[in-house]
Structure 1
Amino acid sequence: MTAENQVSVIGLGDMGSAIARRFVDRGYATTVWNRTASKAAPLADAGAATAATAAEAVAASPLTVLCLLDGTAVEHVLASLDGAAAGKVLVNVTSCSPAQARANGRWAHEHGAAYLDGKIMGDPPYVGTPNIMLSFSGANDVFTAHEATLKELGPITYLGEDAGAAAVEFLAQVAVSYELLIGFLHTLQLVQAEGFDVTEFAERAAASVAAHPPLLTTMANAVKNGDYAPDLGPLKVQAALMDDLIGHRECLGVDALRMREIKGLMDARIAAGHGDQGFSSLFAQLPKPTP
Structure 2
Amino acid sequence: MPETTSASTSASSPEISGVTLLGLGAMGSALAAALLDAGRSVTVWNRTAGRAADLVAGGATAAATVREAVTAHPVVVVCLLDDASVRETLGPVLAELRGRTVLNVTTTTPNESRALARWATEHGIDYLDGAIMAVPAMIGARTGQIFYSGSRTAYDRLLPTLDLWATSEFHGTDAGLAALVDLAMLSGMYQMFAGFFHGAAMAAKSGMSATEFAARQSPFLAAMAHELGGFAKVVDGGDYSVPGQQSLDFSDLSHIVRASQEEGVNPAPIAAVQALIVRQTAAGHGAEGFARIYESVRATPATTTVTSTTTEGA
Above 0.5 in TM-score? Answer: yes
Contact 2:194 / 2:269 at 8 angstroms: preserved in 1?
no
CA distance, structure 2, for counterparts of residue 75 and residue 66 of structure 1: 11
1:272 aligns with 2:299: no
- Alignment match of 2:267 (pick from 228, 243, 256): 256
- 1:198: how far off? 4.2
Is the deviation greater in 109-118 or in 37-46? 37-46
3-state SS of paired residue (1:237):
coil
Contact 1:22 / 1:128 at 8 angstroms: preserved in 2?
yes
Contact 2:18 / 2:41 at 8 angstroms: preserved in 1?
yes
1:7 aligns with 2:13: no
Match of 1:71 in 2: 83
Amino acid at match of 1:288: A
CA distance, structure 2, for counterparts of residue 186 and residue 75 of structure 1: 38
3-state SS of paired residue (2:216):
helix
Amino acid at match of 1:37: A
CA distance, structure 2, for counterparts of residue 264 and residue 137 of structure 1: 35
User: Structure 1 pair 62/189, CA: closer, same or farther in 2 (3 Å)?
Assistant: same
Amino acid at match of 1:235: L
Match of 1:175 in 2: 187
Deviations 1:14-57 (A, max 9, x none): 22122112212211121122222333333223222232322222
CA distance, structure 2, for counterparts of residue 157 and residue 80 of structure 1: 31
User: Structure 1 pair 250/10, CA: closer, same or farther in 2 (3 Å)?
Assistant: same
CA distance, structure 2, for counterparts of residue 67 and residue 128 of structure 1: 16
- 1:96: how far off? 1.4
Matches within 5 A, 1:32-181: 32-181=44-193
CA distance, structure 2, for counterparts of residue 279 and residue 162 of structure 1: 33
Matches within 5 A, 1:13-24: 13-24=25-36
* Residue identity (%): 35
Is the deviation greater in 277-286 or in 99-108? 277-286
Contact 1:231 / 1:279 at 8 angstroms: preserved in 2?
no
- 1:258: how far off? 4.0
Contact 2:198 / 2:269 at 8 angstroms: preserved in 1?
no
Contact 1:33 / 1:40 at 8 angstroms: preserved in 2?
yes
CA distance, structure 2, for counterparts of residue 41 and residue 195 of structure 1: 47
Specify which structure has the bigger relative contact order, considering alpha-carbon pairs within 8 angstroms and separated by 6 or more residues. Answer: 2
- 1:180: how far off? 1.2
Contact 1:56 / 1:84 at 8 angstroms: preserved in 2?
no
Deviations 1:247-275 (A, max 9, x none): 22221111223444444443443343323
CA distance, structure 1, for counterparts of residue 289 and residue 162 of structure 2: 42
Contact 2:78 / 2:104 at 8 angstroms: preserved in 1?
yes
- 1:287: how far off? 7.1
- TM-score, normalising length from structure 2? 0.83
User: Structure 1 pair 55/248, CA: closer, same or farther in 2 (3 Å)?
Assistant: same
CA distance, structure 1, for counterparts of residue 159 and residue 149 of structure 2: 11
Q: RMSD between aligned alpha carbons?
A: 2.3
Is the deviation greater in 198-207 or in 157-166? 198-207
Match of 2:246 in 1: 233
Is the deviation greater in 208-217 or in 146-155? 208-217
Aligned residues: 288
Contact 2:205 / 2:263 at 8 angstroms: preserved in 1?
yes
CA distance, structure 2, for counterparts of residue 237 and residue 194 of structure 1: 27
- Alignment match of 1:285 (pick from 264, 289, 296): 296
CA distance, structure 1, for counterparts of residue 243 and residue 205 of structure 2: 33
Gaps of 5+ in 2: 1-13, 304-314
Contact 1:3 / 1:62 at 8 angstroms: preserved in 2?
no
CA distance, structure 1, for counterparts of residue 275 and residue 47 of structure 2: 50
CA distance, structure 2, for counterparts of residue 267 and residue 115 of structure 1: 44
Contact 1:230 / 1:276 at 8 angstroms: preserved in 2?
no
Is the deviation greater in 218-227 or in 101-110? 218-227
Is the deviation greater in 205-214 or in 257-266? 257-266
Contact 2:149 / 2:171 at 8 angstroms: preserved in 1?
yes
- Alignment match of 2:200 (pick from 170, 180, 188): 188
Contact 2:44 / 2:69 at 8 angstroms: preserved in 1?
yes
